[in-house]
Amino acid sequence: MPEETIVETDTIAKIPASEYGNRIENVLKGFSQHKFDAICHRVVHGGEDFKQSTIVTEEVKASIRKYERFAPLHNPNNLIGIESAEKVFPDTLQVAVFDTAFHQTMPPSSYLYSIPYEYYEKYGIRKYGFHGMSHRYVMERAEQLLEISASKLRLLSCHIGNGVSICAIKHGKSYDTSMGLTPLAGLTMGTRSGNIDPSIISFIQDIEESSTEGVIDILNYKSGVLGISGVSGDLRDVMEAAKAGDKRCQLAIEMYTTRIHKYIGLYLARLNGVDGIIFTAGVGENSPELREMICAGFEYAGVVLDYEQNRNKHGERFISAQYSPIKVMVIPTNEELIMARDGYALLPKLRENKRTAEVVS
């Protein structure tokens, strides 16, 4: 892209789902003095249908709708975003950028579950992985920082925000990742359970006299750090309470960091070692204490943090000691930039589509 500058931003913080469409439309109307070539949308689940970003058509919207059941917290809102943009900017073409696309390079040994193969063949039940734009952005930055070309690079990207996922990157491509068919799998998150013994679902169903969907809701919204601490799903609140002596908050933090630690060990083995470990997203970028807890005990594997760089510096940087064989980096993520670059790359195609549409109508 010739220029990568942010001209204006606006955000919507925690609002009820019923108000989401209206609020998005209002935000978009606030930008109506601008002339856009494309509007790019984050879409969390694209299944196996999308290996890269794409122009939004009716078929693309049908696919996004089809995958709602695999990403119930995200895809419905992503679609509302697209439809609101179509309303406010009817002449602008829309682009969908998928969380799952980056992970389409995983081998079957990473993405298949050990269940009858026909569930994959007939129903697409497999691991898809998420946060793809974030893992891709930080990988591209790490390539620059480490001065190792993508074709040789082995990395662990730890995206630790509200959702948490780790990606094992081999030769510049996603090789394995912690989230699964849905963003509920893998690590302990703010309110999501991550991996549990699947039999627990039927036990909770009986205890709560609930439907399966009801139990999945408990695992999505009432579990993770919130469920264990009983205080909050926001790590800042839980850390404060833990420091004040709250035992369940201390336990929640220990479980949260221990699980990330275990996954790092798992993927160090899967990749036969790595060149670097990246911390990104809300918690990964902003909590030196949690980064220390996660890395502690990996000195034997070649991970040595630099206290000063980790604790007292900010922004994109190395936080490992100069002699550390594995380099540890904090890289603030930029999913929007990846989306804008993908939209820009699609511009020739977008213009062609627009001309065809004008001829037809």
Ligand X SMILES: CC(=O)OP(=O)(O)O
- Is 112 labelled a binding residue? no
Question: Would you give the binding string for ligand X spanning residues 165-184, x where CB under 6 A is met?
Answer: ------------------x-
- Shortest Å distance, C-beta 287 to ligand ADP: 4
From residue 14, alpha-carbon distances to 18, 86, 190, 254, 337 in Å are: 12, 23, 14, 27, 23
Contacts by 268-271, CB closer than 8 A, 24 or more apart: 268/156, 268/298, 268/301, 270/168, 270/175, 270/176, 271/154, 271/156, 271/168, 271/170, 271/175
Residue 326 marked ligand-binding? no
Instruction: Kindly state the smallest distance separating residue 283's Cβ from ligand X, in Å.
Output: 11
d(Cα 113, Cα 119) in Å, to the nearest integer? 9
Tokens of 25: 């439309």
47: nearest Cα among 91, 118, 111, 90: 111
Q: Are 41 and 86 in contact (CB under 8 A)?
A: no
| Percentages (nearest 5) of helix, strand, coil residues in the chain | 50, 15, 35
| Binder of residue 46, out of ligand ADP, ligand X, Mg ion, none (CB less than 5 to 8 A by kind) | none
Contacts of residue 348, defined as CB under 8 A and 6 or more positions apart, other chains included, come to none
Q: Binding to Mg ion by residue 194, rule CB under 5 A?
A: no
Closer to ligand ADP by CB, 229 or 287: give it: 287
154-160/276-280 β-pairing: parallel
Q: How far is the CB of 71 from ligand X (least distance, A)?
A: 7
Tell me the H-state helices in the chain.
Answer: 20-29, 58-66, 75-88, 108-111, 117-123, 132-146, 200-208, 212-221, 224-229, 235-243, 247-270, 281-286, 288-295, 307-312, 335-345, 347-360
Residue 33 to residues 26, 36, 89, 344: CA-CA distances in angstroms?
A: 13, 10, 11, 20
In this complex, which beta carbon is closest to ligand ADP, that of residue 37 or of residue 316?
316
Least Cβ distance, residue 192 to ligand ADP (angstroms):
11
* Size of interface with Mg ion, in residues (CB under 5 A): 1
For the CB of residue 42, give the shortest distance to Mg ion in the complex, in Å: 9
129 touches ligand X by CB under 6 A: no
Q: Taking the complex as a whole, how short is the minimal distance between the CB of residue 128 and ligand X, in angstroms?
A: 10
What string marks each residue from 81 to 120 as x (binds ligand X by CB under 6 A) or -?
A: ------------------x---------------------
Minimal CB distance to Mg ion: which residue? 161
Segment lying near ligand X (by CB under 6 A), choices 28-36, 155-163, 207-215, 243-251: 155-163
161 is in an annotated binding site: yes
Instruction: Write out the binding residues for Mg ion, residues 134-193 only, by CB under 5 A.
Output: 161
- Residue 99: active-site member: yes
Q: Which of 49, 99, 176, 275 is catalytic?
A: 99
283 marked as part of a ligand binding site: yes
Residue nearest to ligand ADP (CB): 282
Q: Which is nearer to Mg ion, 290 or 326 (CB)?
A: 290
Residue with smaller CB distance to ligand X, 163 or 224: 163
Task: Tell me which residue of 132, 128, 251 sits closest to 186, measured CA to CA.
Answer: 128
Q: Known binder of ligand: residue 315?
A: no
CB 137 within 8 A of CB 334: yes
Residue numbers in the known binding site for ATP are 159-163, 234-236, 282-286
Residue numbers in the known binding site are 42, 159-163, 234-236, 282-286, 335
Catalytic residues: 99
Interface contacts to Mg ion, rule CB under 5 A: 161
Interface contacts to ligand X, rule CB under 6 A: 44, 74, 99, 130-131, 161-163, 183
Residue numbers in the known binding site for substrate are 42
